[in-house]
Structure 1
Amino acid sequence: MTALRSTPSLGPLLARGALLSPFKRPRPGAAFAGDRLVVPELRVDVDRLSCYERVCGFATGGDGLPITYPHVLGFPLAMRIMSGRDFPLPLLGLVHTSIDITRRRALASTDAYELSVHVAELAPHRRGTQASVVTELRARPGGAVVWESTSTYLARHRTGTSAGPREPAPEPTPEREPLPVLDEWRLGGDVGRRYGAVSGDRNPIHLHPLTARLFGFPRAIAHGMWTVARCLAAHGTPPAVHAHADFRAPVLLPGTVAFASDGERFELRGTGRAGRVHVSGRVDPLTDPGGPPAQEPSSFS
């Protein structure tokens, strides 16, 4: 475990990860026994929090942290780990595929917390290698975990399994009725810049069409965690809750998207009945804040 006095700046970490990425060659069976990074006493910047709430659509002026905000607090620690020389996966091209969040109670913005981040495992995936990054927020240094998340990141590479026996075709799953559309959002071309300013994540794919084209996107794309935050802000969450989201397709900026929900599941998709699904997820209240969620989340990927 390594204790830090504060969270590091994201800019130098993103630059270091970009510079080291060409020298990393991910392969099947990659392992990583990384360190756990801890900020023993973290205080929330309430001005930055207020800006985040406005950008993501959460109600402002309250005392509690939005369900997705601890991810923003922990993201620099995750980037410090994943941009390091000993992390075997290249930061460039690493895709955030899903996130699970458990909040066990309301989190006051005026409290002090202990923040920790570590990579739980690297696991083989049919398209490469998947890293599971765990973020935990404790009520006070050494106290109980009050918020935790697991983010999965995928590094695509050859798996060496193409010549093996062919897997049987999966059983078809029954089609569900599309979730009812509750709202449509017109997203401006500056969404990525606005979210980058409040989160510190100024990845060039989110900032401008010209920089996004360098990485193969026709236009800038919205941050995945902005799309989840915006959906959960619209959906609403109880104080003790478990939320799961799958990132399925990028949201191009500017653009128009539809928010759909049935009260438990939610989606962000293109407009029209056959619109492409960008994010799908589920929200379940915790009946026992100290135990597992009331209902296991469904994965739509």
Structure 2
Amino acid sequence: MVTRTFDKAPSTAPLMLKAVLPALPVIGGLPGIKHAKGSVPDIVLERTGVATDRAHLETYSEVCGFPRGDHLPAPYPHMAAFGLHMALMTDTAFPFAPMGLVHLRNTITQHRPIGVAETFDVAVRAADLRPHPKGSLVDIITEVTIDGELVWDEVTTLFSRHKGGSAESSPAPLTGIEAPSGVVHWKLSGDLGRRYGSVSGDRNPIHLYPLTAKAFGFPTNIAHGMWTLARSLSAVQNKLPDAFTVDVEFRKPILLPGTVVFGSQAYETEILFGVKGAKKPVTHLVGRVTTKS
């Protein structure tokens, strides 16, 4: 296993350009641009001594609906890891071209709250390349530690569509679970993707403008899945324990601008939640918070 250490977050703007190149005719097949196939890279990307920029945290909280507090919102460590994710996915040893991937599922475990003033280390690696009925899945594993203690981890599951897929070896975490009905309407503006992209560094063209999204087959720009996850957790923030796991599945993209409906249902040891369309009962996201013992 090779470890690559970054003294600061990789700049995502040049990595976005690098992510596009493998999708271009002719250019995408050139050495140094074409991605290898068949296995995940045996590398770990890491940052150490990461401190939270309070102004950035405040902007993130405003975009995603979190209140101010002494601890980081549960999805916020993903911000520190995203540049590493991009560096990993744009490495030619990664088995898929980034622009062809779909963020299908996400699992975050908060082992304990992270204080705003705490510094932490972040490590990212790829794992578990496996079949899917319509292609393949691969996970990006993120671990956040403080003085060697694992305090937060994430599994980002990406889907690559291609022929020759087969059934998954085990069922997805939220198989058979439907989003609860709700009455809370969120009216989403057309610039939501640009606002979240600015704070997260995820400026994928499908999220920015109708024109750039249409170039990739969408009728208009779409909301980030990680924004929808974060906004959902902010809506149940007062019900979250100190230690929990949240699983989400992104089922249909949210077109911008638009209105969606959020619903949740709390039980003794879990909270189910989901986001549906306001005009059509299509499910955009379904999630489950499970209390850690």
SS state at 1:283 partner: strand
| 1:198-217 alignment runs, 5 A limit | 198-217=199-218
SS state at 1:48 partner: helix
The answer (yes or no) to whether the contact 1:20–1:85 under 8 Å persists in 2 is: no
> For residues 152 and 58 of structure 2, what CA distance do their matches in structure 1 show?
20
The answer (yes or no) to whether the contact 1:130–1:155 under 8 Å persists in 2 is: yes
Counterpart in the other structure of 1:59: 67
> For residues 68 and 137 of structure 1, what CA distance do their matches in structure 2 show?
12
Aligned counterpart in structure 2 of residue 252 of structure 1, from 255, 259, 264 = 255
TM-score, normalization by structure 2: 0.87
> For residues 211 and 180 of structure 1, what CA distance do their matches in structure 2 show?
33
> For residues 176 and 182 of structure 1, what CA distance do their matches in structure 2 show?
19
Root mean square deviation of aligned Cα: 2.1
Counterpart in the other structure of 1:15: 17
Paired amino acid for 1:282: R
- Percent identity of the aligned residues? 40
Task: Show CA shifts across 1:159-216 (max 9, x none).
Answer: 166xxxx9xxxxxxxx888623141111010100110111011111111111111011
Paired amino acid for 2:201: G
Tell me the number of residue pairs that the alignment of Structure 1 and Structure 2 aligns.
271
The answer (yes or no) to whether the contact 1:241–1:285 under 8 Å persists in 2 is: yes
Offset, 1:14:
1.4
Range moving further from structure 2, 11-20 or 190-199: 11-20
Counterpart in the other structure of 1:222: 223
> For residues 142 and 179 of structure 2, what CA distance do their matches in structure 1 show?
33
> For residues 142 and 17 of structure 2, what CA distance do their matches in structure 1 show?
22
Paired amino acid for 2:274: E
Paired amino acid for 2:264: S
User: Where in structure 2 are there 5+ consecutive unaligned residues?
Assistant: 168-175
> For residues 189 and 44 of structure 1, what CA distance do their matches in structure 2 show?
29
The answer (yes or no) to whether the contact 1:266–1:282 under 8 Å persists in 2 is: yes
> For residues 178 and 125 of structure 2, what CA distance do their matches in structure 1 show?
39
* 1:285 counterpart = 2:287: no
Offset, 1:67:
0.6
Paired amino acid for 2:213: A
The answer (yes or no) to whether the contact 2:179–2:274 under 8 Å persists in 1 is: no
| 1:93-242 alignment runs, 5 A limit | 93-140=100-147, 143-159=148-164, 179-236=180-237, 237-242=240-245
Paired amino acid for 1:206: H
TM-score, normalization by structure 1: 0.85
Counterpart in the other structure of 1:170: none
Q: 1:58 to 1:154 in 2, by over 3 A?
A: same
User: Where in structure 1 are there 5+ consecutive unaligned residues?
Assistant: 167-174, 288-301
Q: 1:243 to 1:110 in 2, by over 3 A?
A: same
Q: 1:139 to 1:126 in 2, by over 3 A?
A: same
* 1:4 counterpart = 2:6: yes
* 1:90 counterpart = 2:90: no
* 1:33 counterpart = 2:41: yes
> For residues 159 and 99 of structure 1, what CA distance do their matches in structure 2 show?
24
Offset, 1:121:
2.4
> For residues 35 and 89 of structure 1, what CA distance do their matches in structure 2 show?
16
SS state at 2:289 partner: strand
Offset, 1:158:
1.2
> For residues 228 and 81 of structure 1, what CA distance do their matches in structure 2 show?
22
SS state at 1:36 partner: strand
> For residues 68 and 215 of structure 1, what CA distance do their matches in structure 2 show?
27
Runs of 4+ in 1 over 2 A off after TM superposition: 20-27, 175-178
Range moving further from structure 2, 34-43 or 220-229: 34-43
Offset, 1:93:
1.7
SS state at 2:50 partner: strand
Task: Show CA shifts across 1:212-249 (max 9, x none).
Answer: 11011111100000011001110222221110000000
* 1:44 counterpart = 2:52: yes
> For residues 177 and 39 of structure 2, what CA distance do their matches in structure 1 show?
38
The answer (yes or no) to whether the contact 2:106–2:154 under 8 Å persists in 1 is: yes
Offset, 1:127:
1.3
The answer (yes or no) to whether the contact 1:41–1:114 under 8 Å persists in 2 is: yes
> For residues 136 and 176 of structure 1, what CA distance do their matches in structure 2 show?
27
The answer (yes or no) to whether the contact 1:182–1:261 under 8 Å persists in 2 is: no
SS state at 1:88 partner: coil
SS state at 2:21 partner: helix
Offset, 1:26:
7.7
Offset, 1:25:
7.1
